[in-house]
Structure 1
Amino acid sequence: MAEFRLSAEHQRFATWARATAAEHIAPLARHDGRVNRPLLREMGARGLLRAVFGGTAEPDQAAALQLCLLREAIAQVSGEAETALALQGLGSYPILQSGTRDLAARWIPPIAAGEAVAAFALSEPGAGSDAAALELRAEPDGQGWRLTGEKTWISNAPDADIYSVFARTTPGTRSKGVTAFAVPGDSAGLTGEPIDMLSPHPIGHLTFDGVRVGPESVLGEVDDGFAVAMRTLDLFRPSVGAYAVGMAQAALDTTVEHVKTRQVHGAPLARQQAVAHRIADMVAQLEAGRLLVYAAAAAYDAGDEPQEQTRRSAIAKLFATEAAQQIVDGCVQLHGAVALRSGHLLEQLYRDVRSLRIYEGASEIQRTIIAREVIGIR
């Protein structure tokens, strides 16, 4: 695994991101379930959002590995800040990779500055894990289209300024008949409402009532939008694992301190073999998840075959998110009731970690992807 050892440049970058987030960003978190624009603007001003697009003090950093390091570092400090950063990247990457030069020039700079909010609009009421079953219609209207239908579980909705929207342009063709569009949040006919979640998170439902988009709004090629979505997810899925690793690291750090200082029968809790061995198991899980994430990022940055990138991304997301769930749960157990008190770090992490096994492809979908690649059945 020596090939995944972090260089000095990598380590400096991660240290800078974590320190910047701790000092300047975490104090702005408010956990109210809506887009936090002051926090985004500060992340933009401090260069954290720019780092998502490759603009950092270390310009030789590779895109996927840099994104993973960034998400892992910030997750150790603030889940809200990490999520805000990731959603900016997820929502805007289709514009960056597949939009026209004019479209990218219009939206990417304000997104990187934290002045505009982006969102990735793929899921629908009947198309979650089966993303190819999209029903949002894009019907021809002159040289453009009109979008009619619904999207749901859309992070940053309904407050986003720009949405990367995936719609059905050719009926009856599943993934081969989907087109990606950049749709401004203030478009006529576009409405939405927030969805309350177990852990406060900016997410909502969108309704498209004949929303007009022109040919300049197309991301990539007509009927090839599913490929745009998958390229985006192949980049971001390993970084979901990085978020999980950062979250688990935060939980483990506070738990190690707890078991070293908590006195039970006149000795530190850590002196009990059952406790020490559980800590050891969690450390092993965490390190394995971290290495799988770095391996997936390295495969993406090295330009490996798309199927290999997809396989490694699925493995990284599956293992790291499942491990994080177990690690956070184990840390709560070692703390006892105090960890369930409202406002405790582990109480927040316990609620935050659950969604990672669902969004951007549930664990069951990742297992299907891995098995399909290994067995060779399409």
Structure 2
Amino acid sequence: MPAFSLDPPQSAWCAELRALAAERLRPLAEKDEPGHVNRALVAELGQLGLLERLFTSGAVDLCLMRESLAYACTEAETALALQGLGAHPVHAHGTPAQRERWLPRVADGTAIAAFALSEPAAGSDAAALELRAEAGASEPIAEPEGGARWRLTGEKCWISNAPEADFYTVFARTTPGAGARGVTAFLVPADRPGLTGTGLDMLSPHPIGALSFDAVPVTADDVLGEVDRGFRVAMGTLNLFRPSVGAFAVGMAQAALDATLTHTAERDAFGGKLKDLQSVAHQVAEMALRTEAARLMVYAAATAYDEGAADVPKRAAMAKLLATETAQYVVDQAVQLHGARALRRGHLLEHLYREVRAPRIYEGASEVQRGIIAKELYATREAAQ
């Protein structure tokens, strides 16, 4: 695996993305009410061609977009990422009809996507999900044509963009007692009868909600991939997006580090500048060291994904784990070095301090990533014997 470094076109593109995020996306983010889908922001991402790149670029480009946008506008980064997370299963496993109906609207920012995997009792343990897909009655449903083959009954929880999304990638149990082997992925439009949602009051700028499925009808035309093979759809999506969560974290860490460099170089303290204190200089060096190490692991994992390497699950888990834990550390240290001013509402670090916590939980908590890494290590050992 070659060491990762940006070539000049990539560096220029990242600089352009940071400028666009600061000049065109951040003003839209600041106008919106927290806890709701910012459709104007999503539409601007579509207008800039960034949403379309979710389906035409590889993992490295996805990470470059997420890191660059996160540096200047975390809300824009998250809006882009959620479109990708919810729609990638349609792009990778959808039928021509599914792709033709939804992907152009996701790409231009007129349809909001959501990835509905977590449940009240099955968050990080995705194989334990309980939303039931039971054999359906024969009443016709308006869309798609034909009778309902299954009825979805149960709940989803902690779903980003719920209940305001236009469609959901939903994972339901089609074979009871089969663990990961009995799960099917469905594309469920938000207007299906029996599907309702409520918003949750979360520490988040975008909506996070719960979904209730009361015998929601779905047919074979709604299946993404194959029946009972939906766990592969979920894990394939997460293997792509976990490194890019790490890129999001690296973008936040870099923003916090740069703010700290400026502050410590300009702040008068104890007869000199704050940076002249050895304890401060060493702490800033540690922040930079960890940020760069996390960045390298993120892009190594993304490169492995793009090259079809065999160890992608392990690398993806390592990248997300290291980068999100690193960002938490760097932002926390940045707050400490800034002092009370960093906790004032509206300060960059106050914003990052709130934003940086959630990535250690979603798309598999840090503890789950450690479990994946260990499982992959032992499987590799056994295969070599």
Q: Place the TM-score, normalised by the shorter chain, in its bin.
A: over 0.9
Distance 1:109 1:245 in 2: 30
Q: Counterpart in 2 of 1:362?
A: 365
Distance 2:249 2:331 in 1: 10
Q: Counterpart in 1 of 2:26?
A: 26
Once the two structures are superposed, residues 3-40 of structure 1 have per-residue CA deviations (whole angstroms, 9 ceiling, x without a partner) of 30111222122222222222111100135111100111
Distance 2:42 2:294 in 1: 28
Q: TM-score scaled by structure 2?
A: 0.94
Work out whether 1:84 is the aligned partner of 2:89: no
Distance 1:282 1:36 in 2: 33
State how 1:48-197 maps to structure 2 within 5 Å: 48-54=50-56, 62-141=57-136, 142=138, 144-197=149-202
Distance 1:154 1:161 in 2: 13
State how 1:206-285 maps to structure 2 within 5 Å: 206-285=211-290
Q: Counterpart in 1 of 2:43?
A: 41
Distance 1:53 1:19 in 2: 23
- Secondary structure of the corresponding residue to residue 116 of structure 1: coil
Instruction: List alignment gaps of at least 5 residues for structure 1.
Output: 55-61
Once the two structures are superposed, residues 194-213 of structure 1 have per-residue CA deviations (whole angstroms, 9 ceiling, x without a partner) of 11112333110000011111
Contact 2:34 / 2:204 at 8 angstroms: preserved in 1? no
Distance 1:244 1:46 in 2: 23
Deviates more, 1:259-268 or 1:270-279: 259-268
- Secondary structure of the corresponding residue to residue 357 of structure 2: helix
Structure 1 stretches of 4+ moved >3 Å? none
Deviates more, 1:31-40 or 1:342-351: 31-40
In structure 2, what residue type is equivalent to 1:39?
L
- Secondary structure of the corresponding residue to residue 4 of structure 1: coil
How many aligned positions are there? 369
- Secondary structure of the corresponding residue to residue 343 of structure 1: coil
Contact 2:117 / 2:170 at 8 angstroms: preserved in 1? yes
In structure 2, what residue type is equivalent to 1:114?
G
Distance 2:190 2:18 in 1: 31
Work out whether 1:330 is the aligned partner of 2:337: no
Instruction: List alignment gaps of at least 5 residues for structure 2.
Output: 139-147
Deviates more, 1:164-173 or 1:45-54: 45-54
Work out whether 1:201 is the aligned partner of 2:206: yes
Q: Counterpart in 1 of 2:142?
A: none
- Secondary structure of the corresponding residue to residue 150 of structure 2: strand
Once the two structures are superposed, residues 86-108 of structure 1 have per-residue CA deviations (whole angstroms, 9 ceiling, x without a partner) of 00000000011001011001000
Q: TM-score scaled by structure 1?
A: 0.95
Distance 1:289 1:375 in 2: 24
Q: Counterpart in 2 of 1:59?
A: none
Once the two structures are superposed, residues 106-159 of structure 1 have per-residue CA deviations (whole angstroms, 9 ceiling, x without a partner) of 000010111000000000011111100111011122562111100000000000
